[in-house]
Chains A and B, each alone.
Chain A
Amino acid sequence: MTLASPRNAILPDRITTPTLRTFLRSVPSVDEVGARERVAALSTRSIKKESKRDALDLIVRMIDLTTLEGKDTAGKVAQMSAKAIRPDPLNPSIPSVAAVCVYPNMVPYAVQATEGTSVKVASVATYFPSGLAATDIKVEDVSRVVKQGAHEVDMVIDRGAFLSGEYFKVFDEIRRIKDACGDAHLKVILETGELGSLDNVRRASMLAMAAGGDFIKTSTGKISPAATLHDTLVMLEAIRDFHETTGVKVGMKPAGGIRTSKDAIKYLVVLNETLGTGWMTPDWFRFGASSLLNDVLMQIRWLETGRYWSPDYFTQD
C-alpha cells in the first residue's frame, strides 16, 4: 500500500504492522515529569491588557461549539448554531466561532442553521465515542455525514487496536476514513485519557498524521481526563516534528474540560511557544468546548466595561 502524498516521506516503503512498529519506535520518547514541568512553567505567563483581548478574540474564532448529548434535538442545534454565528447579540464586533460540532443525526439541522455563514459544521462519526464497530460501518457513517453537508469529520481511533499493537489496523482505518471524507477535513481523536502514557500519545499522533489526519484531537470529552495541557504539548511537539520532516502542516484540537478563558489562554501560550504564529489561527487550532464560549464573552464584557456581569446576562444555548 502506498500513499501519494508528502506524508510518505516519514513512512516506511511497505506499510505493515511490523514496519509501522519500527517507525513508531523511532519516535522520541517523552519524559512525563519534564512535559508536566514545561506546561506548568508556561502556565505562569502573565497575559494582560491588549494581549489578553487579542487572545480572547482568537479563542472565540477557534471554538468548535459542541453539543454531544443523547438528548440533543433539532431545536437545541438550531439555538446553538445561532449562538455560534453571533456569540454576543449586544456586541457585533465579536466574531463567529469556527464551527459547530454535533452527532451525525444532527448534521442536517446544523447545516441548515449555519447556511451562508462562515461557521462550519463538524460531525463526530465512526461510532463516536467508542469507535467499536467494523471499519466498513465507520466508513459508511463518515460518507453519510459528508454527503449531508458536514465540512469536518471528527473520528476516533481504535484504541484497542493501538494498545494491542495492531498498528496497521489503526493506520488503514484512518486512511480509509480520510478517503471517505473527500474534501471534508478529518480530525483524528486519539482519546489520550485511554492511551496510558505520553509515549503512546506521541506515537499515536505520528500514526494519525502519517495516515492522513488533517487535525489531531485529544479527546471525545466522554472520558476523564479529557484534554490536558501536557497531552496537548506532546501532540504539538509531534506536529512540529512531522512538519519538519514532511513539510505537511497538521492542526490541533484539545477538547473536553476546557471551561474558562484562563485555561484556554494557557493552551494558546503552549501553542504560541511550541509551534509559533503559523498555527495561531482557527485553520490550525481549535477548542472543542461548550461552556468556554460564555466565559470568554464574560471576560470580553469585563474588559470593555470594567465590570463583571452576572451569568444571567449571557444566553445559555
Chain B
Amino acid sequence: MATDIAKPTGAPLKWEYASSIESTDLLDLDSKYGLFINGEFVKPKSNNYFPTINPATEEHIADVAEAGAADVEAAVGAARIAFEEVWKPMSGVERAKHIFRIARMIQERSRELAVLETLDGGKPIKEARDVDLPLVAGHFFYYAGWADKLDYAFPGIRPEPLGVAGQVIPWNFPLLMLAWKVAPALAAGNTVVLKPAETTPLTALVLAQIAAESGLPPGVLNVVTGAGGTGSALVTQPGVDKVAFTGSTAVGKLIQSQLVGTSKRLTLELGGKGAHVIFEDAPLDQAVEGVINGIFFNQGHVCCAGSRLLVQENIHDRFVDKLKNRLATLRVGNPMDKNTDVGAINSRAQLDKINELVDLGQTEGADIFQPDCVLPERGFFFKPTLFTNVAQSHRIAQEEIFGPVLSILSFRTPEEAVEKANNTPYGLSAGVWTSKGSRILWMADQLKAGVVWANTYNKFDPTSPFGGYKESGFGREGGRHGLLPYMKWNES
C-alpha cells in the first residue's frame, strides 16, 4: 500500500486569498477633459482645470475643466435651445428610443464604467460591478419605458416638461446618481445640465461620450465639471427651470435659500442618520449581515446608511459579539481587488471629517471597536468601526459621519425604539429586523423615514421611489414618483 504519499490529514489551512486585481486595460482615458456642451467637448472659458485622483493610491488620473459662470451660461443656453427646438417637440416614442440606446450602451460598456467608477471614487470593484452599474442601466431602461406613456402615468393629468434641469450630484454613487436624475428628466421631456462632484467627474464624462455616440441630439445632455462654485453658478442660472440636488443638508439649505423668490422647482435628497432596529426575535445571523451591509457598503458613504444601530436590550451583548466577529472578516484594501469588501475613503477631506468625528466619539465616552486589519500605506482608508455605549446625545449618534462608523444603542420596548429612531433631524431611511410580521407593519407606520426596509437593508430598484422626510430632503426619485419632479401638471 502506498502509505508514502498519504499526508497527515489534520493540518488546518490558513487560507489567504491571492490578490485578484481587476484590469484597467480597457480604459481609454484622456489626460485632459473639457466641458460637454451642445454635444461636444469644449475648452472652458475659465481656462481652469483641476486634477482628479485615485483615492486608493493618491495618483493623478486626469485633469478636468472647471466651469465658470460663462461656461455654465453657455451650457444652459445650449440646453434651452435643445429643449425648445428638439427635445420638447419630439414624440415620446422617439425620446424613448434615445434613452433605450443609452441604456444598452451602458450595459455594453458596464465593465469599463465599473472599473472607472472604482478608479476615480475608491469603491470596491465588486460593488461597482454588481450594484452600481446594473442599477444605472436599470434606471435608464425603466425611464425609457415611461417616455411614451406619460399621459397615462397619472390619471386625469396631462403632463408637460418643465424645461432645463440643473442637476448637482454627489461623489458616493457618481454614475448611479446621474442615472437617478438624468433618466427621468430626459424621459419627461426636459433637457439637462449636470454637474458631477469634483472628486468623481470621470464616469459622467464618459457617459457624455456615450450619449454623443448614441446620437442623442446636441444640447439635450450637458456636463459641466467643477466644485461648489460651479454648482452654485448652475443652480442660480436664470435659464434653469428645475434644480435637483443630492448631497449634504448644509448645501441643500443653501440652495433652497438661493432659490427663494424664483419660480424654479427644487428637489433635495440630503443626509441621513438611518436607524437600524434589531428586535430579540430577529433572524440574528442575517441581521448581522444586514447591519454590515447597512453601514459598510460603499465605506458608509451612503446617505441612507444604517449608521445608528438600535438593539433590543436582551440580545444586545450577543449581537454585538456577533458583529465584532463579523467585522474581523471584512477585507479592507485595494478597491480594484475583486475580493475587497471595504475600499477607499473618497477624499482626504472626507477622511479628515471621519477622523474628527471618531475622535470626538471617544472623547464623548463611547467605547470604540476596530478589527485588527492592516490598511494600505498610501491612499485614504479607514478601519470599519463600531461604537458601543453610545448615548442619544452623543454627536456620533446625531451627526451624519458618512463613513464606515456605526453607533450602537440599546432599547427595551418597541415604543422606545421608535422614539429613539425618530429622534433626529433626518428622516431618510430605517431598517427593522423581526420575525413578527405585525411588528414590521407597526414599525413602518411609526418610523418617520422615507424608506423602511424590513429584514434587509440598502435595497434599491428603479421602480421604487426613494427620498426623505424632514432635513433629509423632499421630492422622490425612482419609480413613477420620480417623474413628478420633472413635470408640469395640467388637468386634462
A residues bordering B, Cβ < 8 Å? 28-31, 33-35, 37-38, 44-52, 54-55, 58, 61, 85-86, 92-96, 98, 115-119, 237, 268, 272-273, 276-283
B1 touches A280 (CB 8 A): no
B residues bordering A, Cβ < 8 Å? 1-18, 20, 126, 130, 281-287, 289-290, 329, 338-339, 435, 455-456
Instruction: Choose from B4, B5, B12, B289 the contact partner of A34 (Cβ within 8 Å).
Output: B289
Instruction: Choose from A29, A95, A96, A273 the contact partner of B283 (Cβ within 8 Å).
Output: A29
A118 touches B283 (CB 8 A): no
User: In whole Å, how far is B478's beta carbon from the nearest beta carbon of chain A?
Assistant: 21
Tell whether A51 pairs with B17 under 8 Å between CB atoms, given A28-B283, A29-B281: yes
Question: Contacts of B339 on A, CB cut-off 8 Å?
Answer: 45-46
B5 touches A86 (CB 8 A): yes
User: In whole Å, how far is A94's beta carbon from the nearest beta carbon of chain B?
Assistant: 8
A28-B283, A55-B13 known, 20 other contacts, Cβ within 8 Å? A29-B281, A29-B282, A34-B283, A34-B456, A44-B130, A46-B17, A47-B20, A51-B15, A51-B18, A85-B5, A86-B2, A95-B9, A96-B5, A272-B15, A279-B12, A281-B11, A281-B12, A281-B13, A282-B10, A283-B12
Question: Contacts of B435 on A, CB cut-off 8 Å?
Answer: 29
Question: Contacts of B289 on A, CB cut-off 8 Å?
Answer: 34, 37-38
A33 touches B455 (CB 8 A): yes
Closest 7 A-B residue pairs measured CB to CB? A34-B286, A46-B20, A31-B283, A46-B338, A96-B6, A31-B286, A118-B6
Cβ contacts A to B, 14 pairs, < 8 Å: A29-B281, A30-B286, A31-B455, A34-B289, A44-B338, A49-B18, A50-B18, A51-B15, A52-B18, A115-B1, A118-B3, A118-B7, A280-B14, A281-B9
User: In whole Å, how far is A197's beta carbon from the nearest beta carbon of chain B?
Assistant: 12
B5 touches A95 (CB 8 A): yes
User: In whole Å, how far is B278's beta carbon from the nearest beta carbon of chain A?
Assistant: 11
Most buried by B among A35, A46, A93, A116: A46
Considering the chains assembled together, what is the distance between the CA atoms of A58 and B10 in angstroms?
10
A280 touches B130 (CB 8 A): no
Question: Contacts of A86 on B, CB cut-off 8 Å?
Answer: 2, 5
Question: Contacts of A34 on B, CB cut-off 8 Å?
Answer: 283, 285-287, 289-290, 455-456
User: In whole Å, how far is A78's beta carbon from the nearest beta carbon of chain B?
Assistant: 12
CB closest residue in chain A, given B433: A31
Question: Contacts of B2 on A, CB cut-off 8 Å?
Answer: 85-86, 92, 117
Tell whether A61 pairs with B3 under 8 Å between CB atoms, given A34-B456, A51-B18: no
Considering the chains assembled together, what is the distance between the CA atoms of A29 and B9 in angstroms?
35
Considering the chains assembled together, what is the distance between the CA atoms of A279 and B289 in angstroms?
21
Question: Contacts of B287 on A, CB cut-off 8 Å?
Answer: 31, 34
CB closest residue in chain A, given B13: A280
User: In whole Å, how far is A261's beta carbon from the nearest beta carbon of chain B?
Assistant: 15
Question: Contacts of B455 on A, CB cut-off 8 Å?
Answer: 31, 33-34
CB closest residue in chain A, given B8: A118
Considering the chains assembled together, what is the distance between the CA atoms of A109 and B412 in angstroms?
62
Considering the chains assembled together, what is the distance between the CA atoms of A34 and B329 in angstroms?
18
Considering the chains assembled together, what is the distance between the CA atoms of A168 and B15 in angstroms?
40
Tell whether A48 pairs with B20 under 8 Å between CB atoms, given A31-B283, A31-B455: yes
Question: Contacts of B283 on A, CB cut-off 8 Å?
Answer: 28-31, 34
Considering the chains assembled together, what is the distance between the CA atoms of A225 and B2 in angstroms?
37
Question: Contacts of A276 on B, CB cut-off 8 Å?
Answer: 329
User: In whole Å, how far is A59's beta carbon from the nearest beta carbon of chain B?
Assistant: 10
Considering the chains assembled together, what is the distance between the CA atoms of A29 and B282 in angstroms?
7
Most buried by B among A34, A95, A278: A34
Instruction: Choose from B3, B12, B282, B284 the contact partner of A280 (Cβ within 8 Å).
Output: B12
Considering the chains assembled together, what is the distance between the CA atoms of A85 and B285 in angstroms?
39
Instruction: Choose from B15, B130, B456 the contact partner of A54 (Cβ within 8 Å).
Output: B15
Considering the chains assembled together, what is the distance between the CA atoms of A259 and B329 in angstroms?
28
Question: Contacts of A31 on B, CB cut-off 8 Å?
Answer: 283, 286-287, 455
Question: Contacts of A44 on B, CB cut-off 8 Å?
Answer: 126, 130, 338
B10 touches A281 (CB 8 A): yes
Tell whether A237 pairs with B285 under 8 Å between CB atoms, given A86-B5, A117-B2, A277-B14: yes
